[in-house]
Amino acid sequence: MRVYKNVGGDKTSYIYFGGQPIAEAHEHRGGSGVIDWSDYIYAGSRRIAKHDAFEDDLMVTGNYTGQNGALTAWCNLPTGSSSQPYLVRAGDQINWRQAESPGTRGGIYADIGDGSNTTWTTYDTDGQLTNSDTRDGWLWVSRTFNLASYVGRSITSLHFGADQNTAAGSWGIVVNDVVIRNNDGTVIPLYTSQPGVAPGCYNTSNTTIDSTARHLDGLQAQTCHSSLTIKSSLIFNPSTQGMG
**Residue-level pLDDT, tens digit, the chain, 244 residues:** 666 677 666 677 788 888 888 877 767 655 556 676 677 888 888 887 776 666 788 999 999 999 888 899 999 998 876 777 999 999 999 999 999 999 999 999 999 999 999 999 999 999 999 999 999 999 999 999 999 999 999 999 999 999 999 999 999 999 999 999 999 999 999 998 887 788 899 999 999 999 888 877 654 444 444 333 334 444 433 333 333 3
- Asked whether residue 92 is domain-assigned, the answer is yes
Q: Residue type for 119, please?
A: T
DSSP H helices, the chain, are: 218-225
pLDDT of residue 244: 30
Regarding whether 93 and 32 lie in a shared domain, the answer is no
Strand 169-182 and strand 154-162: the pairing is unpaired
Going by C-alpha positions, the residue among 69, 61, 145 that lies closest to residue 100 is 61
Regarding whether 87 and 200 lie in a shared domain, the answer is yes
Which of 29, 52, 75 is the last residue in one of the domains?
52
Helix, strand and coil in the chain, % to nearest 5: 5, 50, 45
Q: Which residues pair with 62 in a beta bridge?
A: 171
- Secondary structure, 3-state, 57-81: EEEEEEEECCCCCCCCEEEECCCCC
| Contacting residues for 213 by C-beta, under 8 A, at least 6 apart | 56, 57, 58, 59, 194, 195, 196, 197, 198
Q: How far apart are CA 230 and CA 202, in angstroms?
A: 31
Regarding whether 115 and 21 lie in a shared domain, the answer is no
Distance of CA 83 to the CA centre of its chain: 17
- Asked whether residue 230 is domain-assigned, the answer is no
- Asked whether residue 189 is domain-assigned, the answer is yes
Structural domain range at position 18: 2-52
Regarding whether 81 and 37 lie in a shared domain, the answer is no
Q: The whole model's pTM is what? A: 0.74
pLDDT of residue 162: 96
Regarding whether 172 and 68 lie in a shared domain, the answer is yes
pLDDT of residue 94: 97
Which of 52, 71, 92 is the last residue in one of the domains?
52
Regarding whether 150 and 43 lie in a shared domain, the answer is no
- Asked whether residue 240 is domain-assigned, the answer is no
Domain tally, the chain: 2
Contact 86, 180 (CB under 8 A): yes
CATH code, domain with 189: 2.60.120
Regarding whether 141 and 162 lie in a shared domain, the answer is yes
Q: How far apart are CA 150 and CA 180, in angstroms?
A: 13
60 to each of 21, 198, 214, how far by Cα in Å?
36, 10, 9
- Asked whether residue 171 is domain-assigned, the answer is yes
pLDDT of residue 82: 72
Regarding whether 43 and 8 lie in a shared domain, the answer is yes
Q: Which residues pair with 182 in a beta bridge?
A: 92
Helix H or strand E segment including 7: strand 2-7
221 to each of 51, 99, 168, how far by Cα in Å?
13, 13, 28
- Asked whether residue 129 is domain-assigned, the answer is yes
Which of 31, 52, 73 is the last residue in one of the domains?
52
pLDDT of residue 218: 53
Regarding whether 209 and 137 lie in a shared domain, the answer is yes
- Asked whether residue 238 is domain-assigned, the answer is no
Regarding whether 45 and 23 lie in a shared domain, the answer is yes
Regarding whether 114 and 25 lie in a shared domain, the answer is no
- Asked whether residue 236 is domain-assigned, the answer is no
Regarding whether 68 and 108 lie in a shared domain, the answer is yes
Q: How far apart are CA 102 and CA 175, in angstroms?
A: 16
